[in-house]
Amino acid sequence: MRTTKLMFAAAVLATFSTSSDARKFHLLRSHAHRPTGIAVARPQPQPVHYQWSLGAAPKAHADLVARFGKVGLDPGQYVWAGSIPEGDTRVIIDRLTQMAYVYRANELVGAAHVSSARQGHTTPLGEWSVLEKRPFYRSKKYDNAPMPWMERIDQYGIALHGGGIPGYPESHGCIHLPMKFAQKLYGLTKIGTKVIIEG
């Protein structure tokens, strides 16, 4: 009879994802009588799956942790280095984590939480470059909407620019940046600056 009870308890425990779930049921009379050989599966972090990636976004996140001690940023938050080295600028956008990373001479100098395209619109994946820059611009497609610190990357009007960062994708396709971050980025880029969008 005791063996049957223990087998039943083990079967029930095996269906729970965490030991805390099992503890809620108090299947065993006390902690002293709890069997010690039952392994309970614990949820593990799942890998992030990118539709398209060169591996730049995961590396940029690791650089963010190493350089600025940040695992992530809140909506609209950004970090920026106190000194900027000479060299070429490169921008990496991660659509999955809604982050932008700025490199100068292969050194991470800034990062920001951003907002890309909402459902029904597209922020295109791939390797791009800055085609046009204007400190202030208005959208020809979307009700003359302001696009401060605009840096266009394709022929259809997709651009990096200052805009709203609600904490989720909400643009028509552009990458919205925190305003001060957009201004700082504008000062580092030039026509031809590389922009990599992964996600």
Q: Give the pLDDT confidence of 76-122 residue by residue, as tens digits.
A: 999 999 999 999 999 999 999 999 999 999 999 999 999 999 999 99
Read off the tokens for 135. 């400190």
First to last CA, the chain: 56
pLDDT at 45: 55
DSSP state of 48: P
CB atoms within 10 A of CB 89: 20
CA 50 to centroid of chain Cα atoms:
11
Q: Are 196 and 127 in contact (CB under 8 A)?
A: yes
The whole-angstrom separation of Cα 52 and Cα 33 is 52
pLDDT in tens, 16-57: 333 344 333 333 333 444 445 555 555 555 566 899 999 999
The whole-angstrom separation of Cα 69 and Cα 62 is 10
Q: 6, 72, 64: which is closest to 35 by C-alpha?
A: 6
The whole-angstrom separation of Cα 38 and Cα 40 is 6
**Residue 123, strand partner residues:** none
The whole-angstrom separation of Cα 3 and Cα 108 is 60
